[in-house]
Amino acid sequence: MTTAQCPTTARHLLSITDLTDEDLAYVLARAVDFARGNRPSRPPLDGDIVGVYFEQTSTRTRTAFSSGALRLGAQLVTYGPDDLQTKTGETMVDTIRVLSGMLDILVARATLSPAALAELATQSTMSFVNAMSAEEHPTQALADLTTLLCHFGRIDGLRLLYVGEGNSTAAALALALTRFPDVELTLCMPPGYGLPATVRAVAVEQARRCGAVLTERHEMAGLPTKVEVVYTTRWQTTGTAKADPHWRETFAPFHVNGGLWKANPDAVFMHDLPAHRGQEVTADVLDGPFSLAFQQAKHKLHSAMAVLEWCRSPVGTR
């Protein structure tokens, strides 16, 4: 990429809400293009340097962004949890100020508050991509929506049932899906483990604006029928712990098994992985004919490539 092609102001993806409706449509369309094997004739990240920093474990997200950056022509600098001087007391803000003079994009999974994330994005020379925080997993939602588009050919009008904790994946899903007309998203979560109030407020307002429906419930009885997607995540989210020592008893009813398909015979199954068979999902569902979980994982690569390309595309152009 030549200097003339570089964005004058770095694009950041801290939350799904950082994407305008136009941006969201663009990123998803490009992800589907990449899934179909359509690549630009000239690598769009040629000459760029992408940093990948993960404080916490990651298989899919780290590999997707690393592989995606290389496929788009970039070179990589990778950091583990003990590699930066933040380990010896340097602030993350100071670290970012240094890295922003050397990298074009930083993809990071770090323990940062929303306020700290927002502060990191005030610099305008290096794009910053949130590869999962405690509050939200925006790149997971993009992989999920890419999976829906590749399978159904649409997102508008889909009916989805999410079973499990109101974690970072659920938050990103709620913030993304409520922007599509006629989507019906039911979140079935254990008592005390629902969506954060701030996320729910934004999602409800988006649903009102876009003609979607968001329902939050805290019992497994009376679930909607004839949904097209059943989604779950593992009960113990990466890098988190639960204060209640008896939390497993609370979560036990909120698992996905083949019984859900009696009322939803045509539904597909989705899971952000890693999965714990016998806990949040039974093996016959995860490994069964309706499961898209491993295709969903593959689409993390395609959506990561779309995000990286979007970060480096000139502002105001598509």
* 162: β partners: 187, 231
Over the range 246-272, which residues count as b (16 or more CB within 10 Å of their CB) and which as e? Answer: ebeeebeebbbeeebbeebeebbbbbb
What CATH number does the domain containing 216 carry?
Answer: 3.40.50.1370
Residue 240's pLDDT is 73
Residues 132 and 142 in one domain: no
Considering the domain boundaries, does residue 318 fall inside one? no
Residues 70 and 131 in one domain: yes
Residue 3's pLDDT is 34
Residue 116's pLDDT is 79
Residue 8's pLDDT is 54
Residue 249's pLDDT is 95
Considering the domain boundaries, does residue 316 fall inside one? no
* Virtual torsion, Cα 45, 48, 51, 57, nearest 10 deg: 20
CA nearest to 96, candidates 37, 152, 14: 14
Considering the domain boundaries, does residue 18 fall inside one? yes
The number of domains in the chain is: 2
pTM: 0.93
Distance CA 264, CA 15 (A): 31
Query: What residue numbers bound the domain in which 192 lies?
Result: 138-297
Residues 233 and 154 in one domain: yes
Distance CA 253, CA 165 (A): 12
Residues 155 and 269 in one domain: yes
Residue 113's pLDDT is 76
Residues 110 and 223 in one domain: no
Per-residue pLDDT of the chain (318 residues; tens, 9 = 90+): 433 344 457 899 999 999 999 999 999 999 999 999 998 889 999 999 999 999 889 999 999 999 999 999 999 999 999 999 988 999 888 888 899 999 999 999 987 777 778 887 888 899 999 999 989 999 999 999 999 999 999 999 999 999 999 999 999 999 999 999 999 999 999 999 999 999 999 999 999 999 999 999 999 999 999 999 999 999 987 667 888 999 999 999 999 999 999 999 999 999 999 999 999 999 999 999 999 999 999 999 999 999 999 999 876 554
Residues 281 and 172 in one domain: yes
Of how many residues is the chain composed? Answer: 318
Contacts of 182 (CB under 8 A, 6+ apart): 156, 157, 211, 212
Strand order in the sheet with 159-163: 213-217, 184-188, 159-163, 229-232, 268-271
Residues 181 and 306 in one domain: no
Residue 4's pLDDT is 36
Residues 127 and 148 in one domain: no
Residues 10 and 125 in one domain: yes
Whether the bond between 274 and the residue before it is cis, its omega within 30 degrees of 0, is yes
Query: Which ranges of 153-186 does DSSP label H, i.e. alpha helix?
Result: 168-177
Residues 145 and 291 in one domain: yes
